[in-house]
Amino acid sequence: MLRSRTALGGMVTAPHHLAAQAGRDILRDGGNAVEAMIAAAATIAVVYPHMNAIGGDGFWLIAEPGKDPVAIRACGGAAGAATPDFYRQQGHAAIPSRGPLAALTVAGAIGGWIKAADIATGIGGKVPLERLLADAVHHARAGVPVTKSQVELTTTKMAELKDVPGFVDTYAANGIPAIGDVLKQPALGATLEHLGKVGLDDFYRGDIARSNANGLAAVGSPIGLGDLESYHAKVMTPLSVRLSAGTVFNMVPPTQGVASLMILGLFDRLGVKAGDGFDHVHGLIEATKRAFIARNNHVGDPDRMTIDPMALLSDENLAQEAAKISMQTAQPWPHVAKPGDTIWMGAVDANGVAVSYIQSIFWEFGSGIVVPETGVLWQNRGASFTLHDGPNQLGPGRLPFHTLNPAMARLNDGSVLTYGTMGGEGQPQTQSAVFTRNVLFGQDLQEAITAPRWLLGKTWGDETTTLKLENRFDPALIDKLKSAGHAVEVVGPYEDMMGHAGGIRLRSNGVMEGATDSRADGTVAAI
C-alpha cells in the first residue's frame, strides 16, 4: 500500500528532486519554510525550465501556526505599450503565443520572492540571500541532467520555438537533447549569483533589469525598463470557503482560485459518502462544470471584474449552484479550455509554518524568448489576454487571467494541508481529487495523489475537450460515466496531462505527511 513520507523536523515536496532537496537543506541550516521555498523556487527555475523560470509569475500562500494564510500575488501586468491597437496594427487578430510579441507582461516571480523574504524575516528567518540562491547558481553553472519531460516537450514544441530568439541556443544547441544530457545555463547562473549578492530588487530596478529590458527590446517585445521599474508584488488576503471538514484557502483573481474553491464548496453539498465511485467522480466533474462557467463569466483583472469573487463562494450561491447538479446525468460540455504549464511546491517547518507555492511561465517554455545577457526565459502569460472587451481584455498594466492557484486548508482535526499541482485547467480538478480523497474519504495522501485521475477538457495543447480518464480506473466506473452522458476518452496510466501534484499534511501532533507525484521527477525531502 502506498504511504506518505513522514518527518518531524521539516519537509519540502517538489516535482523535481533537486528543488525539494535545496529547500530541505535550507531547513537543515536553520531556515524556515518560507526561506526553504525561496531556495526551492530558484532551483526549480533552473532544473525544470520547460515548466517555469524566473521570467515567469508566482503565487504564495503562507500560514503561521494558528493563523489563516496570507497570499502573495506575484504576477506582472501588461507592458505600457501592449494595447489591442498595438497588435492589430501588426496584423494580429489575437495575441501570438510564442516569440517577442508573446512576451508582453512583467515577470512577477522574483517580486514574490522579495515579499516572501520580508515575511520570512518577520518570523525569524536569518539565512542570507546568497545562500538561498546557492543551489540554483550551482546547478545553472555545473549543469543538470535533462529530464524525460523536458526532452518530450522540446521535441513536440520545437517547430513553434525553433525560430524564437535564444531558445535553440539555450535548450537545443546541439539538437534536441536526450534524457541525461547535461544542460548548462551559465548566463542564468551569473544572473542568480548577482541577485544573491546585490539583492533581488536588482531584477526590476538595477543592472539585471536594464539587461533584460535591452534584450527584450532588441527582439521586439513591448516590455520596457519602466514596466520593470514600476512592478511590485502584493501581499493580500486569500479567498476562502468553509466546508464541513474545515476551511480551504486559495488565490484571489486574476487566478482561477475561486473555481478551485467553488468545486469543493459544491461537492460538499452533494452528500457523497465514499471515494472513487461514480458519485465521487461524477459529482466532482459536474461541480467543475458549474465552477468553470462562473470563472469564465467573471474572472480576469480584479480591477475590471464586476463581481466580488467571495460572492461566488457564499452559502447562498453555492446552494443555488449545487441544486443545478444532477447526480445521474452529465451536463453538456465543452467550453473553451485554459492551458498552462507550471510547478507547484509545498514546505512545512518544525515550527508549523506552512507554504503553498506555484510558479509558471504559462505554456511549456513560455514565449521561448531567452535574453542572452541574463539567461532569463520569459513567460507568455500575456497570451491569455483577449483583444476584445471584457474582464480579460489586454491593456497597459492589466493582469491576465491565470490558471495558477496554490491551495491550503485548516481542518477541523487541527491539521494543516498544503497542496497543489501544475496542469492549467486540470489544477482545480486535481486539487479536488486529492483533497476529497485524503480529507473526506481518509485515503493516505500519497495514495490520493498516485490514484488514477481525470481531466475534463483539454490541456497541454490537446485539441480534444473530452472527459479523459486514466486507464487504471475500474472499467465498470468508466462505463457508468459513459452511460451518464460523459464524453469519455481513456488515456494511459500515468499521464503528464493529469498534472504533477503534491502535498504535505501537518498533523496536530507535529507529524508531517508528505507526498509527490510519480508523473513528475520529484520527491519529498525531509529532516
Q: Is residue 426 within 8 Å of residue 486, measured between CB atoms?
A: no
Q: In what order do the strands lie in the sheet with 523-526?
A: 234-236, 70-74, 57-63, 354-362, 341-349, 10-14, 523-526
Instruction: Give the position of cell 501544475.
Output: 422
Give the distance from CA 267 to its chain's centroid.
23
Domain membership of residue 425 (yes or no) is yes
Spatial contact of 521 and 17, defined as CB atoms under 8 Å apart: yes
Sorted by sequence, the CB contacts under 8 Å of residue 62 that are 6+ apart come out as 33, 34, 69, 70, 71, 72, 116, 119, 353, 354, 355
121 is catalytic: no
User: Does residue 173 belong to any structural domain of this protein?
Assistant: no
Look up the CATH number of the domain holding residue 431. 3.60.20.40
Other C-beta atoms lying within 10 Å of the C-beta of residue 318 = 23
Distance CA 210, CA 204 (A): 8
In a domain, 303, yes or no: yes
- Coil, strand, or helix at residue 302? helix
The CA-atom distances, in angstroms, between 237 and each of 73, 249, 451 are 10, 10, 33
Give the per-residue pLDDT at 191: 98
Domain residues for 420? 236-333+407-526
**Cα 193–chain centre separation:** 25
Is residue 82 in a domain? no
Of the candidates 402, 410, 404, the residue with the CA atom closest to the CA atom of residue 499 = 404
3-state secondary structure of 40: helix
Spatial separation of the C-alpha atoms in residues 65 and 317, rounded to whole Å:
31
**The pLDDT of residue 462:** 55
The vertex-287 CA angle with 281 and 291, nearest 5°, equals 140
Q: Residue 161 falls within a domain, yes or no?
A: no
> Burial letters for 112-148: b for 16+ Cβ neighbours within 10 Å, e otherwise?
bbbbbbebbeebebebebeebbbbbbbbbbebbebbe
Residue 30 placed within a domain: no
In 3-state terms, what secondary structure has residue 408?
Answer: strand
Cell of 215: 534584450
Q: What pLDDT was estimated at residue 39?
A: 98
How many domains is the chain built from?
Answer: 1
Residue 419 inside a domain? The answer is: yes
Q: Can you tell me the distance from the alpha carbon of 379 to that of 404, in angstroms, rounded to the nearest whole number? A: 13
Query: Pick the catalytic residue: 13, 191, 342, 466?
Result: 342
Is residue 519 domain-resident? yes
pLDDT in tens, the chain (527 residues): 689 999 999 999 999 999 999 999 999 999 999 999 999 999 999 999 999 999 999 999 999 999 999 999 999 999 999 999 999 999 999 999 999 999 999 999 999 999 999 999 999 999 999 999 999 999 999 999 999 999 999 999 999 999 999 999 999 999 999 999 999 999 999 999 999 999 999 999 999 999 999 999 999 999 999 999 999 999 999 999 999 999 999 999 988 999 999 999 999 999 999 999 999 999 999 999 999 999 988 887 888 888 899 999 999 999 999 999 999 999 988 655 555 568 999 999 999 999 999 999 999 999 999 999 999 999 999 998 999 887 788 999 999 888 889 999 999 999 999 999 987 788 999 999 999 999 999 999 999 999 999 999 865 445 567 999 999 999 999 999 999 999 999 999 998 889 899 999 999 999 999 999 999 999 999 99
